[in-house]
Structures are given as C-alpha cells and as structure tokens.
Amino acid sequence: MSTIPLDYETLRLIWWALLGILLIGFAVMGGRDLGVGTLLPFVARTDAERRVLINVIGPTWEGNQVWLVLGGGAIFAAFPPLYAVSFSGFYLAMIVILLALILRPVGFKFRGKVADTRWRSAWDWALFVGGFVPSLIMGVAVGNVLLGAPFYLDDTLRAFYTGNFFQLLMPFALLAGLVSVGMIVLQGAVLITGRTTGVLADRARTYGTWAGLATIMLFALGGVWVAFGMDGYAITSIVDTNGAINPLGKTVALVPGGWMTNYGLYPWMIAAPVLGFVGLVAAVLGLQARLRIPTLVASSMAIFGIISTAGLSLFPFLLPSSTVPESGLTLWDASSSHLTLFIMLLATVIFLPIILAYTAWVFRVMRGDVTTRSLEKNPNAY
C-alpha cells in the first residue's frame, strides 16, 4: 500500500467524482439522442422530416452509448456493493430501460426496410419510447436515491431488497423523472436547431423553449421539496475515510432537510444548482436568439448543474437505505480496494483522453446541417 502515491481517501474521492463525470457525460452526449427520439413524432410531420431527424443522430448515437457503458463499468469496478444492490434491487427498472434502449438500433435499421406508412410510423413511435422511457426512469431512479432505497444488509453483508417496482413511482421520484425528461428534451431540441433548418428547426425551437421553462419550474419545485418536505440521511458516527469496506460500521440518522446540510458545510457546492438554473435560462434565451453553439453549451451546462446538485446533496452517500439507514452505502465504505482504485485510475488516465479525442474527431467529421437534399446524395443514410 505504501508504494501507491495516492492515499485511499483521495482515490475514493477521485472515483466518486469520475463516476459523476461519466454519468453526466452520458446525459449530455446520450441525452442528445434520447431527446431527438422523444421529439421525433412531434417535431417531424412527414417521412422526409423524420428521416432528417434520424440522420441527425444516426451516425453518432452508438458512440454516445460508450458513456453509459463506462458509467456502469465504473460502478461495477469502483463500487461493487453499489453495483450489487442497485442492479439487483432495481432489476425490473433496469430491464425496462434496456428494452427501451434496444428499440433504438432496431428502429434505425428496420424503419426504412419497408416503404409503408404504418410500418414507419410504428418504428417512429418505437424510437420515441426508446428516448422517453430511459429519460424518465433514470430520473425516477435519482429521485429514489434521494428518498432512500428499500434494502438492508445482513451480518454477512448480503443485500435484501424489500420494495417492488411500483414503489419506485413515488411522487417525488416522478417529479425527478420529469426534470430528467425536461432537460433531455431541451438537449435534443437544441441539437435539432443546430443541425437542421427551416420548419424543423422552428418546431424544435418551440418545443425546446417549453421544455426549458418547464424544467426551470420543476427543478425549483424539487429544490423546495428537498429542503422543506423531505428527510435526508446523515452519518452520526465517526467516519474512517481510509477504512476497509464495511457499510454496517456506522450509524445513520434521518434529519429534516438533511440533504441541504452539505451546502452549509461546503458553500462552494451552491455553484451546482446555480449552474443548473443559469444553464436552463441561457439555453432558452439562446434558442430564441437562434444561437447554435452557445445554446448547446448552455443546455449541457444545465445538465451538468442539475445532476451535480443531486450528487453533491447526497455526498458522501451513494445509495441510502430507507429500510435500515445503517445499511446505506457511502463512498467511504462501499469502494473497491486501494490497489484496485489506483490501477483503474491509471487505465482511465490513458484511455479516457483517447475516447475524448476520438469523439471530438467524429463530431468534427459529421458536422454540418442535415437536409432532405443531403440525404438524397448519401446512399448510406437511414
């Protein structure tokens, strides 16, 4: 252990931050595709218009899925107890998300195989489901994390889930889901306005503006709810930030408004919700001003701020337990070993810049407006 240049506490903090960055990366990059899919049946009214939207995301959506894979891999390798509890307890919700995501590649490939209006319309709605359902359920999942998941650990650290799928659909969790849908729809609308022209861009601008305004109100309502209508979890025992994995080695209490405590202890954290609101307002104004790149930056900044707000509020919890609070998982007691985190960090330092560079190159190559005329010249278009 002494040969590792970073102490255990620092590595745990780094991987907590990296996990957040990977999840935000998927929301920003994959959110473009999910948002366009959600808007597809509404923004595009004809087959030609829908082909344009599909080809806006068609060449890059698979690459954007890398962020989701990396996020799941980081949970598995860096925080194994979190992976075990969340992926088993939320199994049905995960299956629903995966089934919805599977509709996207199938829809892209099969939609154009038959020149029939009903056939293509069915696949268009399948692409809508593939965008809307994951956006909603992932937000619902975040809401349930803030509420606390119904599970507990026995003396051998085996996890037992005490809830069911329908218990996930609590009012606050549904509110969080709507916030997620709103910010993803905004991201998709911003992409459409940046890659198309004419009536498609105008319709997307309208939907994006309404989505942005709705997200501002929903995000504010969620903040008030967390601050004044919800109990948060707080560790009441001494925390060994360099200790071994042992989620049961602490005491936890429910505290009214407890998720707001970190903002008093670490005032700089207030930058996250501020960034969320500023990004949303700037994105709405950018849509009205018909600015492309600044609006995309603003909507991405809003996503960063909204997700960071949830993550910073939870710190140091990864997954609180509503059944037995002491069973809640934190980054201090649910991480991999010191050596494992260090080796993973070395791999990340090497490969993450390569992924970022390749992604930037791909988007540079695929830049430019997508129009019906450009599709006629491209034999590989969907």
- 308-323: pLDDT as tens digits: 999 999 999 999 999 9
Task: Give the pLDDT score at 254.
Answer: 92
Position 2 scores a pLDDT of 54
Side chain identity at residue 373, one-letter code: R
Share of the chain above pLDDT 90, in %: 72
Per-residue confidence band for 115, with pLDDT thresholds at 50, 70 and 90: confident
Of 29-38, 137-146, 165-174, 342-351, the poorest mean pLDDT is in 165-174
* Residue 254 dihedral angles phi and psi, to the nearest 5°: -85, 130
What confidence tens digit (pLDDT) does each residue in 12-47 have? 999 999 999 999 999 999 999 999 999 999 999 898
Whether residue 296 contacts residue 191, with contact meaning beta carbons closer than 8 Å, is answered with yes
Query: Over 60: is that where the pLDDT of 116 sits?
Result: yes
Answer for the pair 137, 93: CB distance below 8 angstroms, yes or no: yes
pLDDT-based confidence at 1, cuts 50/70/90?
very low
Mean pLDDT of the chain: 92
Cα(145)–Cα(148) distance, rounded to whole angstroms?
5
Sequence-distant (6+) residues with CB within 8 A of 18 are 74, 78, 348
Judge whether residue 377 has pLDDT over 80.
no
Q: Is 222 within 8 Å of 259 (Cβ atoms)?
A: no
Give the predicted TM-score (pTM) of the model: 0.92
Q: Can you give the pLDDT at residue 127?
A: 94
